[in-house]
Each structure stands twice: as C-alpha cells, then as structure tokens.
Structure 1
Amino acid sequence: MAEVINMPRLSDTMEEGVVAKWLKQKGDKVEEGDILAEIETDKATMEFESFSEGTLLYIGIEEGEGAPVDSLLAIIGEEGEDISDLINGNGNGKSSDSSEEETEEPKEDSSADSSEENSEASAEIPEGVEVVTMPRLSDTMEEGTVASWLKKEGDKVEEGDILAEIETDKATMEFESFYSGTLLHIGIAEGEGAPVDSLLAIIGPEGTDVSGILSGGTPKAKSTSSSKEESSSKEETTEAQQEETTSNTGDRIFASPLAKKMAEEKGINLQNVKGSGENGRIVKKDIENFKPSEKSSTATSAKEETKKEAPKAAQTYVPAGEESFDEIKNSQMRKTIAKRLSESKYSAPHYYLTIEVDMENAIASRKQINEMPDVRVSFNDMVIKASAMALRKHPQVNSQWTADSMKIAKHINMGVAVAVDEGLVVPVLKFADQMSMTQIGGNVKELAGKARNKKLQPKEMEGSTFTVSNLGMFGITEFTSIINQPNSAILSVGAIVEKPVVKNGAIQVGNTMKLTLACDHRTVDGATGAQFLQTLKTYLENPVTMLA
C-alpha cells in the first residue's frame, strides 16, 4: 500500500520548508533509511530520509519550491500502483463545516450582548449634567493623554476654568471648561491616554447621580491575566524541555538517523563502521552487517586514551551579566511621529538630490549684516529666505498630491523642523517669501522657543507647503529627510565645511555646504527638483540677489 510522505517539521519553529535538492527521482527504488531530499528549514538545510520502502511514485514539491509543514511531499508505494486518490484526496470538509457551525453561535451571543450594551449606553443624561469628552486639540490628533488634573472630583468649576493639561501629538495644552457646576466624575486618570471623544469628565449639579452614564461598560482584565498565566506556563514548559535536552560534541560522522539509532541500541561505535551509502554515508544495512574486529577495538581504546591524556585547553573568558531594558511609555508626540513619517515614507515615492554650495559670499554677507545694531541673522535664516524665493520660481515644488489632483500652492509657508525633548515639531512661517532675513530670524526664534516650552498652538504648526531641516549645527555634513506630508519636498541642510576647493584652476581653502532635497516623485520630477536646487544655489552663493 502506498505511503504518503508530508513535509516534515524539522525544527521547533519551522512552519514552511523548501526542497533544496531531490536525491531520488520519480521511479527510483527507495530503501528504508535512504536520503530522499535535502530540505531547507528556517534554521538549516537538513537531509530527510525515508522510513518506507518501495518506489518513488510521486513528487509533490519541486526543487527550489516551498510548502507549509504537512503538505504533500512525496508518495512511495509499489511500482505501477494507482495513487490518483491520494494526490487528489481532501479530508478537511467536515472540520470546516463544524467550525462554521461553532462560530455561528458566538456571533448570535455577541450581537445580543451588543444590543444590551447599546440599550444601557443610551440612558438619558440627568438634567443639568454635561459630559466632557477628550477634545481634538489639533488637526492630526487622534488620542490624548491627561498630563495633570487642575480640578479634582467634588471641586466647583466655573466656565473658563482650566480643567486639565492634555498632551496631544504636538504639544501639552491647557483645556478649559465650557460649563459651570461640580466636577462629578473624572474618566481618565493622570498619565493615562484615550482616543478623541472618550469620556473625560462629567460636570453637573452637586450630588447628581451619574451612575447611569457610567454604566456603559468596564474594562475587562481577565484576558490579560490569563494570557500572562499561559505565557508563564509556556516558559516553564520551554525551560523543562531545555533542561531535558543534552548535546554531544565530537567528530562529524555521516550517517542516517536510522543508522545512528540502531548503532546506539547495539552499542556500536560509528567511527568503526564503514559506510556504503553516498559519499561514504552509513546506512541501515551497514549497521546490520557490521562485525567488530580487534583492530578497530584497539584503535578505539588508543584514541580514548589519547583524549584522556590531552591537556585541557585554556578556558576562554565569558562575560556574565544580566540583559535588561528600560521601558519608556510612548508619548502622543512620539506615536504621531512614528505614524505620520511611516505613512509618508511608504506612500510617497521618495528620491534625493544633493548639491554643494560655495558659502564664501554668504559668510561675508552674514558678517556684514550682523555688524548692524540689533540685527542677528543665521545661516539657517538665509537658507529659508533663499528657499522661499526659489519656490516662487519653481512652483511645482510647492505642491501637494491628492488622489484626484495635484495642488500647486500660490502661497509659500515654510515649515522649520525643531527638535524638542520628546521628538520633533514643525512650526510654520506663513508667507515666508514676503519676509526679510531679519524677520525670518525673529519669527523662527520665537516659534522655536514656544516649541521647546510646549506653548505652540495648533494653528502655528499647520499649513506648511515646504519644510527645511537643519542638522549642520551638530556637525552633520549631509543627510536625507522624510517628506513632511502633504508637502512634496523637504530640504536637508548640512554643516559648512572648510576644505580644499578648486577655483580658477588653483587649489585653495574654501567653505562649502551640502543641501539634499527629498522629493515626492508623484509631483516633482527629477529635472524640476534639480532646477530648484540650481536656483537655490545661485541665491546662497550671491546673497545680494535676495535683496533685489
């Protein structure tokens, strides 16, 4: 009778195997212990031997192809045997039907439960009671964290009083009450977060019963505890298995698993057995036909004595320590940075253009400007001004991509990336092309100060059409940035570096700065981005042109 051979599970974590090589072909005779194939697991490539005898009637997985564990690998049987039923057979119909029947009942129960919960949640709010929900304090806010409560349960609240400080994805902001009364209930404790429109607090007349409002449901903690118990039991099982497992080291001997097992049962040293299989591999019949000789036993004993007499190798130093982590809860700002930058990186096809700018004239011009009383201009201010003017000449870079159209902004609002303790914020300079370098410097300084003190308002971080990110002050000479969507481009500004340059055929000391433009290829083609950088380079190398 034909034997079905499935893809074996050759490691504890193996879920799929790849047939690296078949050592037997369809129609070949197969003996018990013969190597059928080499199978690549998630950890190594291993030889897979046959536990059946007969003819290889069918190969289910070709060389180089993979399949899940327990997939049909091969069929071994008598030559000429009909195996069509085994190849086309399917025994999973009943289990799938039963699983469908089993899943129908919970659905009915869950629908009944949900209807009960909806009826409870729809309880009427007592007269004079106001339910305060988590507000949306920025256009991108989806979740908020209560940094601190300035009112406690039972406190009197007047309209305009500050209830709490709420941490959004961009800043920590004060949240004021629009109602007067008594703070009857606090729905979100300090340090905890909740989605927008979640129950934040209840305000109403003193002594009002609000239990009907709160009966919408309580969080269940059972699943957490049960999962912990399951994980701990799994860990104990794993540890027990690891303790039971031992390893033997020694010279590599090529033998089939069946031959090794038989040799162990008979007390035969495989080093004394000559293999008759492929490449001298020891197979089942070699163990069955093995006859020990005096020469082999003498050689074995001599080898064992040599091993005993050999001096012990010097032990290598193995450092000991405890692996540990400090777990820091993600702030709303950090969560939003992760979400928005991931969306930008994987939705917008980024490409990068880098240009090197001669900063000699810019250095000289800045020095002259800063000699004027009450004037302070930075190189970053010059870059922002030059970028704004270059955008006016290349409006395609000042654009946004939407599903139906491409929007080219007629206004120029420059986003300026500012690093804060918890991450990154981008305050916006509105109509930056209309500002002088001095005005740009003053506005950037003011907005950066607000950002670091968490005083930025949402409107001060909205509406950018282009962004500048500068890491030159940290000595970074060149880097790439992720586009701050819905912008189509972001400019990365490196440090000014003193180095040898060639001017008029002679080598001399110069000062250069590298600018890298990240572009969204959906809106900005390579030539457009390159032309923008050329214009920007012209402005920076000749700052007087920005005053025209």
Structure 2
Amino acid sequence: MATVIRMPQLAAGGAEAAIQTWLVSTGDTVSVGQPLAEIETEKAVVGYESEVEGVFAGAVVEAGAAAAVGAPIAVVAAPGEELDAALAQAGIAPAGGDAVLAEPEEAGPEPADDAPAKAEPMPTARAQPEPSMTGSGESKRLFASPLVRRLAKEHGVDLAALKGTGPNGRIVRRDLEAHLATAETQPAQAAPAAGPAAAASAPVETAEYTDLPHTGMRRAIARRLTESVTTIPQFQVVADCRVDELLDLRKRINEQADASVSVNDLIVKAVAGAMQDVPDANAIWTDAATRRFSGVDIGIAVAVPGGLLTPVVRGVERLSLGQVALATRDLAERAREGRLKQHELEGGSFAVSNLGMYGTREFTAIINPPHSGILAVGAAQRRPVVADGTLGAASVMTVTLSADHRVLDGALAAKWLAAFVRRIESPLSILL
C-alpha cells in the first residue's frame, strides 16, 4: 500500500517549509533512515529521512516550492506495487510519464467563478476577486500555493499573468520571484487633474527601485525582532574593558598550542564564567515562571547570506577554551553553508553579537526571544586612559548589555556586567 509523505514540522511553531532539494528520483528504492530531501525552514536547511521503505513513486511538491506542515509532499509505493497505481491511490495522476500532483483543495469552500465579489464597508470600494485563468470560454482554477498567493498579493502581482513551471502549470515561488526580478519599473500614473492648480503642478520624479522578495529568513528575522522590541522591556548597561592582557594571552595560546582561538571565543567563555558568578542572570521569562538554568547555553550571532542566524553552544561552562573554539567555528561554518539542524538554533538564555571585526566602536543589540540578554561587543581600540593619575594608552573594548527587565533589574544587570569585565581584564580566570 502506498504511503503519502507529509511535510514535517521541523521548527517549533512553523506553519510551512520549502523543499530545497529532492535527494531521490522517481523509481528509486528507498529504505528507512535514507535521506529523501533537504527542507528549508525559516532558519535552517534540514535533512529529512524516510520513515518507510519502498519505491519513490513521485514528488508532490517540487524542489523550490513550499507546502504547509502536514501537506503531502511525496508518495512512496510499497515494494512490488505499480507506481501508477500507487500514485492514483494517493490522488496523483501520471502525465507524460512523470508524476504530477492533482491540485489539492484549499481549506474552506471556494466561491463560484461567476460569484459577485463582496463589497467592502466603504461604499466607494469593492473587493477584488481572486485572479483566475481563462481558457476557451470557460474559467478554471489558478494553480498556486497559499504562500505564492500571499506573496503575489503583497507585491500587487496578478498571478493570471504568470506562466507556471510547476506540475500541471502550477505557479511556484520561483516563478513569482523571477517575475519580480525581471519586471521593469513602471512609472506612477498621474492622478486625475482636480482643476487648473492641479494641472499646473509639476510631476514628482522618483528614483528607480527594485523590489526584492522577502525570503523566509528575512520574514523570520522581521517577525521575531519586532516581537522582541514590542513585547520585551529592554534596557542597556554599558562598560569599557581593558583588553591588553586578553590579547596577549590569546597570542601566547595560539603560538604555543598551535591553536586558533579568537577573541570571541574568550568572550564566550567569560560570559559563561560571569553566569556562574551571578547565577540569577542565567534565566529567561516564561508566562508561568522565571526559568533559571544550571548550565550555560550561549547563542552566537553569525552573519549569513541574506540574514542572521544564532546557533547555540551548549554547556559552555563545561567546555575548555579549545572546545569552545572548535564548537563556535563549526557552528559558524555550517550556518554560512546552510547546514545547521533546527535544534542547534533553539534554546539558551543569552547571546553574544560581535561587530568588532568591522571596526564598530559600540552598538546596541536586540534580544533574541526567548533569551533574556545579549551582549554587543565592539572593537578593541587604542584609547587614552588614566591609571594612578597618569595618562597613558590602552586597548579598550566597549560592551553593551541589553537585558530583559522582566528577568533582570538594573542592579542585577550591572552586577553581571561587572563580573564579565573582571574576567576579561583578568583573562587567566577564563581558563580556570
């Protein structure tokens, strides 16, 4: 008996995901645990493994297209079962020798093509009906996923004008993105003249522009950080750290141990040490309680093509400096290559965002929910300092702590930041 493979929920709260690549072809034998596809969520590309054995009868959702969680994405036939029979059983019909999906029904009844559009409350406006594709004297459904319909509506694109490249002429996301990328900028239409004064007004010239469709990652960043600044009462605490001893320690470690320890690795270890010094800061807010952690899991902000990811290093307090260096480098590399697993992006109570490599003196970072804090790290710069009444110069690094006031009050945040600065300025304590 054929098995319908459905889109799994790979991310907590995720409503849909996209097939990035199918790793099997129609007719291939598949076994339990065999990778079938790479699926893109809002934050990561996740490998999906088969839970059944049999013969891959066909993909329901082609590579590059999105589907809602729980929607059919493929069919696996039982061993010895005819592929056409398996497809027919799953509601899929072969066309030209290749399997194509019969268009799934949308949730809820659709109005008849000739049904009048509902009137909006405003008497002068009327809702536009869903675009339809017309054939020879008979209208038929437009094959497009809910995601494509939503994106088309946001960009003001009439889907009827697009030619779908998916199965059965289905319009997929890449069709819409290609249309948006190649569309020529249309000049704004002049408003009707209201009189002699309006006719005398010169037309307003605007610069040419290109609309770049939002990626899933960009939408996730927009949603989560908007949620952060609108629901989390955030405040900042700033401190300067003298880092000459830290930089010298890093140099000696890398020379003597043939290692590759970065300043950021030392900062991550110092954050973990400060959490142990001030355990009340190692907590997050939940609706029911303040959740305090015994271990220290720290998110590392990583710039990736098209956005930002924050993979989490687990149990930093138990790791040596070398282990932290290996873990952060591995997570950062796989983040840039799109190979992180979803669980590597979840959890933790705190994050570090370092822009020092760009020469940024200082900045403020936004808390990434559900974390209760994030440390923004600036560049180490030579600055004038006064020590024992004598003016001199030192390498100074400015750090800014953004804290969730529901979890950390001002005094607690200041206490934690002071503990962090002590460890940075006495770097041997980081190694203990």
Aligning the two structures, in what range does the TM-score lie when normalised by the shorter sequence? 0.7 to 0.9
Tell me which residue corresponds to 2:131: 225
Select the residue among 202, 205, 209 that pairs with 2:75: 202
Select the residue among 169, 177, 199 that pairs with 2:42: 169
Give runs of aligned pairs for residues 464-483 of structure 1, distance below 5 A.
464-483=348-367
Residue 249 of structure 1, CA deviation: 9.9
> Can you give the 5+ residue segments of structure 2 that lack an aligned partner in the other structure?
93-101, 114-128, 133-152, 159-187
Give runs of aligned pairs for residues 427-446 of structure 1, distance below 5 A.
427-446=311-330
Select the residue among 189, 206, 216 that pairs with 1:332: 216
Tell me which residue corresponds to 1:519: 403
Q: Judging changes above 3 Å, is the alpha-carbon distance between structure 1 residues 249 and 176 closer, same or farther for their aligned structure 2 residues?
A: closer
Aligned residues: 346
What is the SS of the residue equivalent to 1:487? coil
User: Which residue identity is paired with 2:224?
Assistant: R
Tell me which residue corresponds to 1:156: 28
Select the residue among 159, 162, 187 that pairs with 2:60: 187
Tell me which residue corresponds to 1:367: 251
Residue 470 of structure 1, CA deviation: 0.6
> What TM-score, normalized by structure 1, do the two folds share?
0.58
What is the SS of the residue equivalent to 2:256? coil
Cα pair 1:133 1:198 within 8 Å, conserved: yes
Deviations 1:59-102 (A, max 9, x none): xxxxxxxxxxxxxxxxxxxxxxxxxxxxxxxxxxxxxxxxxxxx
Q: Judging changes above 3 Å, is the alpha-carbon distance between structure 1 residues 181 and 342 closer, same or farther for their aligned structure 2 residues?
A: same
Cα pair 1:144 1:166 within 8 Å, conserved: yes
Give me the CA root mean square deviation: 3.0
Distance 2:54 2:261 in 1: 52
Asked whether 1:402 is paired with 2:286, we answer yes
Select the residue among 490, 494, 497 that pairs with 2:378: 494
Which deviates further from its counterpart, 205-214 or 171-180?
A: 205-214
Distance 1:248 1:216 in 2: 51
Give runs of aligned pairs for residues 258-337 of structure 1, distance below 5 A.
323-328=208-213, 330-337=214-221
Greater C-alpha radius of gyration? 1
Select the residue among 241, 259, 267 that pairs with 1:383: 267
User: Which residue identity is paired with 1:441?
Assistant: A
> Can you give the 5+ residue segments of structure 1 that lack an aligned partner in the other structure?
1-127, 231-237, 251-315
Distance 1:380 1:428 in 2: 14
What is the SS of the residue equivalent to 2:84? coil
Q: Judging changes above 3 Å, is the alpha-carbon distance between structure 1 residues 377 and 148 closer, same or farther for their aligned structure 2 residues?
A: closer
Asked whether 1:534 is paired with 2:418, we answer yes
Residue 325 of structure 1, CA deviation: 1.1
Select the residue among 454, 479, 486 that pairs with 2:338: 454
User: Which residue identity is paired with 2:131?
Assistant: S
What is the SS of the residue equivalent to 1:380? helix
Distance 1:178 1:340 in 2: 32
> What TM-score, normalized by structure 2, do the two folds share?
0.72
Residue 229 of structure 1, CA deviation: 11
What is the SS of the residue equivalent to 1:449? helix
Tell me which residue corresponds to 2:181: none
Cα pair 2:46 2:342 within 8 Å, conserved: no
Q: Judging changes above 3 Å, is the alpha-carbon distance between structure 1 residues 436 and 140 closer, same or farther for their aligned structure 2 residues?
A: farther
Distance 2:56 2:226 in 1: 40
Q: Judging changes above 3 Å, is the alpha-carbon distance between structure 1 residues 459 and 245 closer, same or farther for their aligned structure 2 residues?
A: same
